[in-house]
Structure 1
């Protein structure tokens, strides 16, 4: 849609103008179907297109919110976000839909809290049912923190997401918090091979799994010529063992942690 592109262009031009002269107020032109809101070069400038799609650009640092690839995607993003933004533990606007699932990023300090909050939304921590879902999540949610970035969080900090995979009930029997089964022959296939081999001696104390949002390489990026091909055999996912608090990671760099909830959206 032309108005969606025009709104992006106006916000971008105003950001460039603010970089050149921070004392100059952003220009909000009159364009039919678009409502602009702005104050000065130290705050957000937003644009609402046809009352159903809102995007913004922080004039002080260039952080973007809602900058989907198309108007239709923007509408969908806004509708999904509105369903969950009233929950105070949901990262604002960090929600997205694919087929019959809404995926929502949650503030959570440990796995138990992340799972409880996922359940309060009507779902559970994410279940990765097959490689297609893994690839979609990788491209749209966790790799390079894509969903957080779309929601306006452009931090480059190391980030991890609690997932539903666990072996709390029975040691070594990996199941999903949702109770669903997956298409994987063995859920162990999702576990990072180096992590698997290096942490066998700690397995009894680590019952939960996270996935890294800034360094995930998924199933297919590792090949036999890569570093340590005996560990990275190209057949494994990238989930990492942690305890409930993710203590080891927090004591070694203290990366950010969030919960990734999956809520059924089809009746």
Structure 2
């Protein structure tokens, strides 16, 4: 007797085949595709600019769109003593409007100066998006710009910090920060060199996330970020950011995705 595939069964098989062919969309909600951003301009259809609020009492500045600028192909996020909202300082943050899943994330940036400040390139999703808090971080704390802190959160649980030396200082020149996020491992890179790998399933985020750049300060988190000491305006500068989904070709010459699988 000839076997006949019912329509429902056929649909399931097609869905499975498509899922295997497009690993970048294996995570629910991952609607962003591969891109490279060289910041010739700030495309607000792609980037959301935080404006008019802060992330809590620990933050001594208010996000302000006035702290975001493009200059000579570089995204600039400024921290200065401009009063904004109920804070005496203003600071900058941008985030992608779409969410991204497994793949290679790369940023070329030069961080800000000053104890009590945090220059960050990270991915995040959380309760405001009706998802658990998952996060993957590169953070340079101005109290010691010779190091970058790596970390990841899984369902709001962190505690995975690791400090990596940045030769010459993260605030002195542009450096390349990247991570390759896969279902079974997470690898961090600095200037093309592998500096940390995570393979423990309990320490691997699973939810698609947005890409962020932020520069902010604190008066209260002294044990972590050092005592706040404002000495004048300072900037986090981002020359380029790229995302390459698993299985896609690399997005620019010299990309980590061209050589690392």
State the TM bucket, normalised to the shorter chain: under 0.3
TM-score, normalisation: structure 2: 0.28
* Structure with more relative contact order (C-alpha pairs < 8 Å, separation 6 or more): 2
Whose helix fraction is larger, Structure 1's or Structure 2's?
1
Larger Rg: 1
Whose strand fraction is larger, Structure 1's or Structure 2's?
2
TM-score, normalisation: structure 1: 0.28
